[in-house]
Amino acid sequence: MKKSLLLLVLVLCVFLSFSAFGKTKLIFAVHWSDYQVEGVKDENGNIVAKGLRQYVEEYQKLNPDVEIEIQSVPFDDYLKRILISHTSGVIADIYVLYSLWGVQLVDSGILDQVPKDIADKVKANFAKVAVDGATIDKAIWGIPVEVANYALVYNKKLLQEAGFNEPPKTWDELVAMAPKLTKRNPDGTVAQYGFAFLSGWDSAVVHPFLALLHSNGGKPFKDDFSESLLTSKEAVEALEAELKLFKNGATDPAASVWGFPSGKVAMMIMAPWYESALKLGFKDQYEQTVGVAPIPYLKKPATAGYTWFIAVDSASKNKKAAWDFIRWMTLENAGGFTRMGELMAKNIGSIPPSKSDLAFFKNELNDLYTSVFVKELDNTYQEPNVAQGQEIKTILMREIIEAWNGRKSAEKALSDAKKEIDKILAEFYK
């Protein structure tokens, strides 16, 4: 009896291990949070909005020979995860990547070339700004899954209290309105900011500047990236436009966009993913309080944007299986929409870059918050895919903050940034 039981266990073990070995295993690394991976559930544990895991399980049922492991890494550690995994040799097969990192990953041979059929579909079926985000040296390196841009988010109630029924349309109007929305305590500290930037985060510093730069008819680099154009008249004027808000007392370096949900900030420049935080902050007052409008322009409407795209590691042993899953998830018609588009629109709250998804999820994307961002996609300039993008962004952030703090003039700050950035560009483009 004991012998036969032992034999049975042994046979089971062998069977299980063989069945596991027989499967193609894919590791899918994402930077998404728990509910975005596991799905949004109600109090009874029922899925209200599907997360990545539900899609993966669906795919595994359709393809029993494929096993997909989701590895969720916080955004701050995501690039480190890629670096360390390549040093240690334990890589993920599929990544969702921030477009700014793309050049370095491509130059280092980390990304697998996109199959032609996929590249063609991306070019034909996705919003231009997202295609730009996934394009490096004229080649598509992944499928855009999320596109984000910026708009002016304002507190309707605070504006109305100050006698403004409409948000500002031009930057000059904003500069005139913001001090009237600023309230000070008797000791001189600011109780309510007319406008808030955010000092400690590179995107929050650099992206609004890029939006104003494009709005002023400028651009950050020459097309061949041989030189930055930060000392151009357009760039200096763009930073000076920001500094007007510091000089007229509408804001200061201590201001923070995170103060908006507590009603201490009247206006800010923000991205679409902040919607849920605003809903949580304002609760039932959300619709009466939050307003969104295009970023007030200098010469023409413009905003800055960035893209996340899904790509396969060139060192993956299962590239075909990885691309098959990506095709199913991001391109295959699931009833007028793609599964990734559904995940973005219904769960993550981001703008799906596929044209079919933009058309299909009108209800989800047409709310008071996201609709403006969707409309602004046409005016969105993708953050440039430049070598050492993160380093360049950090340098630019530091110099802009120097100017915000009054330690440098706009011209001096941008000239210092240009000197450092041009050195980097010379390393990679000459």
Partner 1 sequence: MRGVFTLTHSSKKRKSLEKNTGAGYLFLAPALVFYSLFFIYPVIFSFVVSTKRWNMLVPLSRARNVGFSEYSYLLKDQMFLGILGNTLLYALATVSSTIVIALILAALINNAKLSVLWRFIYFTPVVTPQVAIGTIWGYLYRPNNGLFNSILKIFGIKPVYWLTDANVALISIIITAVWAGIGGSMLIITAGLKNIPQDYYDAAKIDGAGPFRQFFYITVPLLSPTLLFLTATGFIGAWQVFDLPFTMGRNAPARSVMTVSWYVYETAFQSLRMGRASAGAFLLFCVIFGFTLIILWLFRRGGIKGYE
Q: Which residues bind partner 1 (CB under 8 A)?
A: 79-80, 82-84, 86-87, 104-105, 108-110, 185, 187-191, 199-201, 252-254, 256, 388, 390-391, 394, 398, 401-402, 405, 407
CB of 235 to partner 1, least distance (A): 20
Angle 389-404/233-247 helices, nearest 10 degrees? 40
Angle 410-429/389-404 helices, nearest 10 degrees? 170
Q: What are all long-range contacts of 352-360, with beta carbons under 8 Å and residues at least 24 apart?
A: 352/145, 352/146, 352/147, 353/126, 353/127, 353/129, 353/130, 353/144, 353/145, 353/146, 353/147, 353/307, 354/125, 354/126, 354/127, 354/144, 354/330, 355/125, 355/126, 355/127, 356/125, 358/127, 360/336
For partner 1, which is the closer residue by CB, 172 or 420?
420
For partner 1, which is the closer residue by CB, 82 or 372?
82
CB of 220 to partner 1, least distance (A): 18
Read off the tokens for 80: 């480190």
CB of 82 to partner 1, least distance (A): 8
For partner 1, which is the closer residue by CB, 192 or 347?
192
Read off the tokens for 237: 């004027």
For partner 1, which is the closer residue by CB, 32 or 258?
258
For partner 1, which is the closer residue by CB, 125 or 390?
390
CB of 192 to partner 1, least distance (A): 10
Strand 151-155 with 290-293, pairing: antiparallel
Q: How many whole angstroms separate alpha carbon 15 and alpha carbon 25?
A: 17
For partner 1, which is the closer residue by CB, 80 or 123?
80
Q: What is the largest CA-CA distance in the chain?
A: 90
CB of 348 to partner 1, least distance (A): 25
CB of 401 to partner 1, least distance (A): 5
CB 171 within 8 A of CB 214: no
For partner 1, which is the closer residue by CB, 151 or 387?
387
Pick left, alpha or beta for residue 73 (phi over 0 → left; psi -120 to 50 → alpha; otherwise beta): beta
CB of 241 to partner 1, least distance (A): 20
